Structure 1
Amino acid sequence: MAKVPKGTIAIEEAVLNPDGVSWMAESATLFNPGVDPSKASNHGHTALLLDIHESRLAKMDAHGVEYMLLSLTSPGAQGEPNRDKARKLAADANDWLAAEVAKNPARFGGFASVSMHNAEDAAVEARRAVRELGMYGIMLNDYQVVDQGGDSEGKKYYDAAEYDPFWKTVEELGVPVYLHPRYPQARDLQAGTRYGDRKQILGAAVQFHLDLSMHIYAICSAGVFDRHPGVQVVAGHLGEGIPFNLWRADHWYNKPVKKATRPSKEDYSYYFKHNISITTSGDFNTAGLKFCINEIGLDRCLYSIDYPYDTIEEAQAWWKGVDLPDDQKDAVGRANAIRLFKLPLNP
């Protein structure tokens, strides 16, 4: 096999197994409101998501992407309210992705999907995916939708104490968890709800970071990282905007009236400097990246594209023009990912 030239390592890069085409189509009209719901048999990016070894790889070669960590596109198992179906969805996707990665391990690795209906299911599949299938991390698409009986669906967030066995397993496995956004569940799109009446803010521009940043703040403040200090979490899109609010978040969280009763030992900045890394996925903002490097540290910042929702061409064109010192550019572009995910690549 020919040696692959060094290039960028991209770690929030979506795929879709053929079994997922039906559930992916459910978000077609949310991604593209101009689509006729009665004709939305496919999502606009279905073909690109299904492709790994043809167009995707050709674009990687053409534009200097050395390696991609692939993950099942959102919402995956987090969008399935039935526990048994969610567990099977994750396991089947992991088997499929592991087989695809095995076709070209020099260029691709994988994130595990897990059902988060309960911590035990998640821990079992995480162990299998990492230890038996060779996955390099776990991808969670924000909260888990759960069946509450009838037509009622609830949400589960992972700052709850019931998820401590999952976080303990993650710590033992030594792999990062990537927290990724998702579209709202159906009940939050009904008339009279905050998104049902404001569908123009759905998706990557606004809603994704509003919802996921809350979940990240909750995990930090609940003491998850105090109980499991070895856990590493990754957040894309320049940390879902949180680094730009850290000063104010800490300013109020550290006031005596808050500090005396807060569940966590440390403030938000501490966890962003010890347990959380951010990526450039879909946020090709040079000033923003420099701010994050200064705010949380060079070792906590990684490159990503968010393919196919953003293009390899645009991301790489931006990256080639980013005016960071060579050592910083190498750290963000590839070295930090190799270290954090323990990738089988030469530094």
Structure 2
Amino acid sequence: MAAIPRRIDVHQHLIPAFYRDLLAKEGIAEAGGRALPDWNPESALELMDLLGTETGIVSVSTPGAAFLDDPAEAAHLARRLNDFSADLAESHAGRFGWFATVPMPDAVASAAEARRALTELGADGVTLLANSRGTYLGAEGQDSLWQTLDEHAAVVFVHPADLPAPPVEGIPPFAADFLLDTTRAAYLLVRNGIPRRYPNIRFILSHAGGFVPYSSHRMAVAIAADAGRSPLDVLDDFRDFYFDTALSSSPAALPTLLAFARPGRVMFGSDWPFAPTAAGQYFANGLDSHPLDAESLKAVDRGNAEALFPRFGGTSAPSRSGSGLRKSAQRAAARLVFKLVQPT
């Protein structure tokens, strides 16, 4: 019997009931073209056991607090979400970590909440949407946030949001626009020198970096021509990002990611519950079946995340289901995934 991988999932979401209610009051019932899924800690733990995940580092997906027009209300919501996340992690020791929500595009308020979450609540990092109300990461006026995150050597989880333009009919945003959104943010961060000016920040790009691995050389040439830099130096900046495998450990995407990313920069991600259970199984199985050597697979499953989040190193939280449940459903998951990931 194969050993349970004890994965650390760096891309898992939570949807507290009060947050869902606030979204509903604003007429928001979906994110990225997908209906908001049900969430509770118990169902999260069931999914984690199914995928062999020991620890899930949870985050709030788009729209975060950015749907609120009033900056004070957005800041208050970010505080509520972070207090909830801290309580979740404390009440399930070893099973959950969390990334803090901040009220972007207000960089000053975001810096203050990031500092509170990191120093007082014990957040494992900070979630930054690629764009908030049309303002992208890397734009002017964000130095107060970058300075705070750099001072705390923070891990920043970059998650896509809806593009600041109407969606194209028939193309759900999660299927293509999200990948572009992440790529846009990565481009601006590199173009405007944020990773070089603030070298203590560790950036994780969701979904294998969107289009970054595939288009990195093309983007490096464009930035080099614009900024008078060497394309190879620019490419090094893109390769300094970390990446997760959420919805991306396929026979097409995973080899490209592994060929591009630096050793130690790829980590497991599920995107649950926005990615349904069958999709999580399908892509987890894609990672398991990739011809990685055992040590490299262990690093993606757990070791690379341990290096970023040392507090999870060496823990061994009990799994309630084990590998039997995980193995028994993988074949069915592969048949169902393409149906289930369609928007509802």
- 1:252 is displaced (CA, Å) by 3.7
Corresponding residue for residue 315 of structure 1: 283
The separation in 1 between residues aligned to 2:51 and 2:184, in whole angstroms, is: 35
**Change beyond 3 A, Cα 1:325–1:91:** same
Supply the distance in 1 between the matched residues of 2:231 and 2:72 (Cα, whole angstroms).
37
Measure how far apart 1:341 and its partner are. Answer: 2.8
Aligned length: 308
Cα separation, 1, equivalents of 2:257 and 2:129: 23
Structure 2 partner of 1:203: 173
Structure 1 position 161, deviation (Å): 3.4
CA drift at 1:184 = 4.1
1:266 Cα offset (Å): 7.3
Asked if 1:111 corresponds to 2:99, the answer is: yes
The answer on whether the counterparts of 1:226 and 1:265 sit within 8 Å (CA) in structure 2 is: no
Does residue 1:222 correspond to 2:192, yes or no? yes
The alignment partner of 1:320 has SS state of helix
Q: Distance in 1 between matches of 2:143 and 2:231?
A: 17
* CA displacement at 1:80 relative to structure 2: 2.4
Task: Give the superposition deviation at 1:58.
Answer: 2.0
Amino acid at match of 1:221: R
Q: Is the 8 A contact 1:179 1:234 kept in 2?
A: yes
Q: Tell me what 1:176 maps to.
A: 155
Contact 1:15 1:71 in 2 (8 A): yes
Which whole-Å CA distance do the structure 1 matches of 2:125 and 2:101 have between them? Answer: 9
- The one-letter code matched in structure 2 to 1:269 is L
- Secondary structure of the residue aligned to 2:8 is strand
Q: How many Å apart are 1:44 and its aligned residue? A: 4.3
Q: Check 1:293–1:284 CA distance in 2 against 1; reply closer, same or farther (3 A cut).
A: closer
Give the drift of 1:240. Answer: 0.7
Per the alignment, in what secondary structure is the counterpart of residue 201 of structure 2?
Answer: coil
Q: Aligned partners of 1:184, 1:19: CA distance in 2, in Å?
A: 25
Structure 1 residues 322 and 166: CA distance shift in structure 2, 3 A:
same
Gaps of 5+ in 2: 316-344
Equivalent pair of 2:61/2:159 in contact (CA under 8 Å): no
Offset at 1:23?
Answer: 4.3
Query: What amino acid is the match of 1:166?
Result: L
Match in the other structure for 1:301: 266
Structure 1 residue 129 corresponds to structure 2 residue 108:
no
Q: Deviations over 1:281-310 (max 9, x none)?
A: 122214422222222222111111100122
Q: Aligned equivalents of 1:102 and 1:287: distance in 2?
A: 38
- In the alignment, the residues of structure 1 paired with residue 52 and residue 294 of structure 2 have an alpha-carbon distance, to the nearest angstrom, of 16
Root-mean-square deviation over aligned CA pairs: 2.4
**What is the match of residue 290 of structure 1?**
255
Cα distance change on mapping 1:12 and 1:184 into 2, 3 Å: same
Letter in 2 for 1:211: D
Read off the aligned partner of 2:153 and give its amino acid letter.
Answer: G
Is the 8 Å Cα contact of residues 58 and 97 (structure 2) preserved in structure 1?
A: yes
SS at 2:9 equivalent? strand
CA contact (8 A) 2:82 2:101 kept: yes
| Structure 2 Cα separation of the partners of residues 179 and 31 of structure 1 | 15
Q: How far apart are the structure 1 equivalents of 2:59 and 2:102?
A: 11
Give the direction of change, closer, same or farther, for the CA distance of 1:221–1:28 in structure 2 (3 Å limit). Answer: same
2: CA distance, partners of 1:15 / 1:181: 16
- Tell me the CA shift for residue 158 of structure 1: 2.8
In the alignment, which of 237, 242, 257 is matched to residue 212 of structure 2? 242
1:10 lines up with 2:13 in the alignment: no
Aligned residue among 57, 69, 72 for 2:57: 69
CA contact (8 A) 2:162 2:181 kept: no
Task: Give the 3 Å change call, closer, same or farther, for CA 286–24 of structure 1 in structure 2.
Answer: farther
CA distance in 2, matches of 1:251, 1:31: 31
TM-score for both structures, normalised by structure 1: 0.81
Partner in structure 2 of residue 253 of structure 1: 223
Displacement of 1:131: 1.1
Q: Take 1:135 and 1:30, find their aligned partners in 2: how far apart are those partners?
A: 24
> Matches of residues 251-290 of structure 1 in structure 2 within 5 Å?
251-255=221-225, 258-260=226-228, 267-274=233-240, 276-290=241-255
Answer yes or no: is 1:160 the counterpart of 2:139: yes
The CA distance in 2 between the partners of 1:126 and 1:266, in whole Å, is 33
Whole-Å separation in 1 of the counterparts to 2:197 and 2:212:
22
Any idea what the Cα deviations from partners look like across 1:184-243, whole Å, max 9, x if unmatched? 46xx33xxxxx3xx2322321111112231122011101112211222111111111111
CA distance in 2, matches of 1:6, 1:58: 15
Conserved? CA contact 1:5–1:66, under 8 Å: no
Asked whether the equivalents of residues 269 and 296 of structure 1 are also in contact (C-alpha less than 8 Å), the reply is: no
TM-score, normalization by structure 2: 0.82
Amino acid in structure 2 at the alignment position of 1:144: S
Provide the rounded CA distance (Å) in 2 between the counterparts of 1:213 and 1:181: 9
Amino acid corresponding to residue 253 of structure 2 in structure 1: G
Give the direction of change, closer, same or farther, for the CA distance of 1:237–1:212 in structure 2 (3 Å limit): same
Structure 1 residue runs without a partner (length 5+): 34-42, 146-154, 190-194
Q: Residue 307 of structure 2 aligns with which residue?
A: 339
